[in-house]
Amino acid sequence: MSELYELGIEGAAEGLAKGEFSSVELTQAVIDRVRAENPRIGAYLTFDEEGALAAAKAADEAIANGRAGAWPSRLLGIPVAIKDLINVKGQPCTCASKILKGYVSPYDATVIKNLKAAGAVCAGRVNMDEFAMGSSTENSALGRTVNPYDVTRVPGGSSGGSAAAVGGNMCIAALGTDTGGSIRQPASFCNCVGLKPSYGRVSRFGVTAFASSLDQVGPMTKSVTDAALLLQALAGHDEMDGTTPDEPVPDYAAALAGASLKGVKIGLPKEYFIDGLDPEVKRLTDAAVAKCAAAGAELVEVSLPHTEYAMAVYYIVAPAEASANLARFDGVRYGHRSARSDDVFNLYARSRAEGFGPEVKRRIIMGTYVLSSGYYDAYYGRALKVRTLIRRDFEEAFAKVDALLTPVAPTPAFKIGEVQDPLTMYLNDLFTIPSSLAGNCAISVPAGFTADTHLPVGVQFIGDAYREDRLLRVAKAFEGAS
Ligand code: GLN
C-alpha cells in the first residue's frame, strides 16, 4: 500500500489507531487525490474541503483522547463519499437534478447522523443518475462521471459517482442507494464491494425517496470487511422511518471471523444463467461458482420461477411510487422555480417541465398512468400480487440454501453513449431487481477482469432478509478464495 488514499476503512482505521498518520493527513491525501483525478473521472459534484479538514481535526482530537479502541466505531476520522441524494446539513443535495440545483440541506439524514456520531468525515458529494433513475450515471443533469478502469466507459448507476470514487481511490468508502440494483451494478463495473441491505435494515429518513417500498442505503467499499464496518454504523431502528424494525443489529465485523465456505449451501438459480449473458461475464461467473466449490461449498440448483416477471413488476411499482414521491417538487417548496408563470398551476407545470430531465419525466408519466383510475387494478394491483409470488420464490429457496450466487449485470461496463434505448438500459437490472422486490439483502463482490478489455466484473450473492451477517460471511470467504 503506497498512498493513504488507497486504503480502505480497515487499513485506515488501523493506521489511525496506531498513530501512523492522522485523520487530517488521511483527509488531505484524499483531497489531493480528488483534486488531481476528479477533473478526469467526475465522481464528485462538490467537495467541502474546509469542512472535511475540520471534521478530520475533531476526529484527531477524539483519537488522542480515546485511543486504545475506546471509540465505538472504526469509522472515526475516515472520509466517506456521499451520494448526492442523502441530506447532510449545510451541504448541497441536488439528486443530480436541475430542479434541486442550489438546494442546501437544512438537516442530516439519519444515516449521516449515525456516520457523524461514529466520527466519519462526510464532505464530498458524488454524482448519480437524476433521482437515482438509471444504470450508467448518464442521466445526471449536473455532470459526467466515467469509469476509472476505462474512461471511455460508464461507471454504472445510479450510484456511479460512489463507485467511481471508491474504484478510483478518491475516497476510503462511499454510501450509495439501491432501489433495483444501483449499488450492486456500479460496484460490479468499478471493482468495488457493494451491499444492498435488506428492506428496512437501514433508515431512509433524509434520503430523497425514489420508490419507497424498495429504496435502501448501503455501503460501497474496497473490501467485504469494510462493508461490514460501514453497515454497522448505518443499520438499526429509527423512529423517523417506520420501516425499520426495532430488532437488534448483529455485530457484522465479528460475524466475519473465521469465515469459510466449507459446507455452506449455495444456490444457483437456473433462471439467472441464461443465454444472452456476455461471454466474459459468463466465464467469470462460472469461475466464481468453481471457486466456491473448491472452497468446500455445496452447490445446489434452485429455481425462482417468477423471475421472468420481475422486470415488468419493477417498472410498474417503481415508477408508480416515484410519481407520487416526486410530486413534492413543485417549484414552491424546493429548488427550481420557473420565472415564466402567471398562475399557480403554470408555476407547477413549468417548474417541473424545466427542472426534470427526460428519464425522470418518463417515469412520472409511466407511474401516473399505471395508477390512474381504470388502469390501477390492471397494472399496479396485479404487479403487487406478482411481487408476492416473487418474494415466495426466495422464501422457498432460502429454506434450502444459505445464499444464492448469480451474475450482477448481463455485461461489463459499456461505452458512454452506447445504450440509447431506455428498455435496453433497464435490462441492466435483470439480476438485481428480483431481490429488491423481495426485500432480501444482496452483495456484489469483485470476481475478476474480462480477458481483452480488462474490465472488472462482480458476482452477486443474495441472502435471506435480515441475514446480512450470514451473507457477509459468504462474501468474505469468497473474497478470500479469490
Ligand atoms: N436502474 C434502475 C432504475 O433505473 C435501478 C435504479 C436504482 O436502483 N436506484 O430504476
Give me the catalytic one of 182, 223, 323, 351: 182
Q: Rounded to the nearest 5°, which phi and psi values hold at 106?
A: -85, -5
Ligand 1 atom nearest to 436, measured from its CA: 8
Grid cell, residue 114, equals: 449515525
**Atom number of ligand 1 nearest to Cα 433:** 5
Q: Is the CB of 180 under 6 A from ligand 1?
A: yes
What is the Cα–Cα distance from 441 to 217, expressed in whole angstroms? Answer: 11
Q: At what angle do helices 358-371 and 310-325 cross, to 10 degrees?
A: 100
Contact 40, 146 (CB under 8 A): yes
What's the helix, strand, coil split of the chain in %, to 5?
45, 15, 40
Q: What is the pLDDT of residue 8?
A: 98
- Over 90: is that where the pLDDT of 28 sits? yes
| Model confidence at 409: pLDDT above 80 | yes
The arithmetic mean of pLDDT across residues 3-22, rounded, is 95
3-state secondary structure of 447: strand
Residue type, 70: A
The whole-model pTM stands at 0.97
**What is the predicted pLDDT for the residue at 158?**
98
73 assigned to active site = no
Q: What percent of the chain has pLDDT over 90?
A: 92
Q: What pLDDT sits at residue 68?
A: 46
Rounded Cα–Cα distance for residues 18 and 2 (Å) = 17
- Alpha helices by DSSP H, 67-192: 110-117, 160-167, 184-189
CA distance 329 to 347: 11
Mean pLDDT of 196-221: 98
Instruction: Output the CA angle 69-70-72, nearest 5 degrees.
Output: 95
Q: How many helices (H) and strands (E) does the chain have?
A: 16, 11
| Ligand 1 neighbourhood includes 132 CB (under 6 angstroms) | yes
Report which of 53, 42, 97 is spatially closest to residue 79, judged by C-alpha positions.
53
pLDDT tens digit sequence for 210-258: 999 999 999 999 999 999 999 999 999 999 999 999 999 999 999 999 9
Which residues make Cβ contacts (< 8 Å) with residue 196, sequence separation at least 6? 178, 183, 184, 216, 218, 432, 435, 436, 441, 442, 443
Q: Tell me, what's the pLDDT at 71? A: 57
Task: Write down the pLDDT at residue 341.
Answer: 78
| pLDDT-derived band at 321, boundaries 50, 70, 90 | very high
Strand pairing partners for 268? Answer: 301
Q: 444 CB under 6 A from ligand 1? A: no
Do residues 467 and 247 make contact, with C-beta atoms less than 8 angstroms apart?
no
* CB of 273 closer than 8 Å to CB of 242: no
For residue 256, give the C-alpha cell.
466475519
Q: Read off the pLDDT of each residue in 32-52 and give the average, rounded to a whole number.
A: 98
| pLDDT score recorded for residue 276 | 86
pLDDT band at 203 (very low <50, low <70, confident <90, very high): very high
Picking from 378, 284, 364, the residue whose alpha carbon sits closest to that of residue 330 is 364
Q: What is the pLDDT of residue 64?
A: 87
- What residues contact residue 59 under an 8 Å CB cut-off, 6+ apart? 16, 23, 76, 77, 119, 121
Q: Is 158 among the residues known to form the active site?
A: yes
Q: Per-residue pLDDT averaged across 3-10, rounded?
A: 97
Q: Can you list the domains of the chain with their CATH numbers?
A: 4-255 (3.90.1300.10)
Lowest mean pLDDT among 64-68, 212-216, 234-238, 294-298: 64-68
Our answer on whether the CB atom of 135 is closer than 6 Å to any ligand 1 atom is: yes
pLDDT of 70 higher than 70: no
Ligand 1 pocket check for 330: Cβ under 6 Å? no
- Residue 72 pLDDT grade (very low, low, confident, very high; cuts 50, 70, 90): low
Q: Among the options 22, 135, 158, 435, which is catalytic?
A: 158
Say if CB 412 and CB 278 are below 8 A apart.
yes
The answer for 258, left when phi > 0, alpha when psi is -120 to 50, beta otherwise, is: left
What span, in angstroms and rounded, lies between the C-alpha atoms of 17 and 76? 9
HSE-CB at 107 with a 13 A cutoff on CA atoms is: 7
Counting from 1 in the atom list of ligand 1, the atom nearest the Cα of 133 is 4
Tell me: pLDDT of 400 over 90: yes
Tell me if residue 213 is catalytic: no
Tell me which of 23, 83, 198, 351 is the catalytic residue. 83
Distance CA 367, CA 431 (A): 22
Ligand 1 mean position, distance from CA 11 (Å): 32
Q: Which atom of ligand 1 is nearest to the CA of 210?
A: 9
Q: What is the mean pLDDT of residues 186-203?
A: 98
Grid cell of 227 as nine digits: 462493508
Q: Is the pLDDT score of 1 beyond 60?
A: no
The verdict on the CB of residue 158 being under 6 Å from ligand 1 is yes
CA distances to 224, 291, 294, 333, 355 from 480, rounded to whole Å, are 10, 10, 12, 50, 47
Output 10 or 2, whichever has higher pLDDT: 10
Of 368, 347, 337, 358, the closest CA to residue 420 belongs to: 358
State the distance between the two ends of the chain, measured CA to CA, in whole angstroms.
Answer: 19
